[in-house]
Amino acid sequence: MLLKDRVAIVTGGAKGIGRAIALAFAREGCDVVVNAMHIEGAEKVAGEIKALGRKSIAIACDVANTKAVNDMVARTVKEFGKIDILVNNAGGVAGDAKIEATTDEAWNRVIAVNLTGQFLMCRAVIPWMRKNGYGKIINVSSMGAIHPPAPIVHYHAAKGGVLGLTTNLALELAKEHITVNAILPGPIKSEFFTEMFKGKSEAEANAFFKMLDAKVPMNRMGMPDEVAGVALFLASDMSSYVTGQSVNVGGGLPLSPLDG
């Protein structure tokens, strides 16, 4: 098993990419703390992990809240005695946001959830990784950080900031056996899009997905498990000499497919 007896925290772990990562880790022998904003979703995934024979606890908290983050890390250490792996996957976006339409409130909240939350999680976890002389941090950014598909200024700015956070921490921690890498998912078929199309017709959703498929060089959207496979590599000792890297998981994006 690639992660035998490791302990991981996966934020935003109740659905989509986060759920896929949490389950992939558990299948490889990892105990997982599943974080989400709402306890019901986190508990469901924690139950799936336990069914695989691993330990898991569900913790509902806002990763943009310093006290909540510190409490979650303290509870993890109390329960499992250590933290080997951190996956910063929690995030969200409040619709399209061109610059003039972006309010202060929307900017601050999206930056808080997508960037500040990753900083707070890293700051809380790193002392425990230093203590153990080992750690794997995986920050989930977005293809939009380098190749925006639409003007969503607050979200893409936050995800760009994640890349800066990743390289800075990788440099700072390189001599301490703690690696820090980022994943940049492209269009992934998950609950993110399901929620986007609430109240709209199936035809509208299918037309949108067909358009996305055509933009990807591999001519299809990705699945959460395909992101989880990359996370598993970065969380395991197979990537022991990899740090400060950003891995695109986008079916060839940002390459542009040829017409015809």
CATH number of the domain bearing residue 66:
3.40.50.720
Residue 260 lies in a domain: no
Residue 193 lies in a domain: no
C-alpha to C-alpha distances, 50 to 16, 27, 137, 151, nearest whole angstrom = 19, 10, 23, 41
Q: Which residues contact 65 (CB under 8 A, 6 or more apart)?
A: 120
DSSP 39-54: HHHHHHHHHHHHHTT-
CA 137/CA 170 separation, integer angstroms: 9
Active site positions, annotated: 155
Q: Are 12 and 40 in contact (CB under 8 A)?
A: no
Residue 199 lies in a domain: no
Q: Are 144 and 96 in contact (CB under 8 A)?
A: no
Three-state secondary structure call for residue 86: strand
- Residue 95 has a pLDDT of 61
Question: What string of pLDDT tens digits covers the 260 residues of the chain?
Answer: 999 999 999 999 999 999 999 999 999 999 999 999 999 999 999 999 999 999 999 999 999 999 999 999 999 999 999 999 999 999 988 666 789 999 999 999 999 999 999 999 999 999 999 999 999 999 999 999 999 888 889 999 999 999 999 999 999 999 999 999 999 999 999 887 776 677 788 888 888 888 889 889 999 999 999 999 999 999 999 999 999 999 999 999 999 876 54
**For the chain, how many structural domains are there in total?**
1
Residue 218 lies in a domain: no
Residue 196 lies in a domain: no
Residue 34 lies in a domain: yes
* Domain assignment of residue 142, given as a range: 7-188+223-249
- Residue 60 has a pLDDT of 98
Residue 211 lies in a domain: no
**Strand-pair category, 56-60 with 31-36:** parallel
This prediction has a pTM of 0.94
Residues in the chain: 260
- Residue 200 has a pLDDT of 80
Residue 191 belongs to what H/E stretch?
helix 191-196
Residue 228 lies in a domain: yes
CA 203/CA 200 separation, integer angstroms: 8
Three-state secondary structure call for residue 9: strand
- Residue 184 has a pLDDT of 98
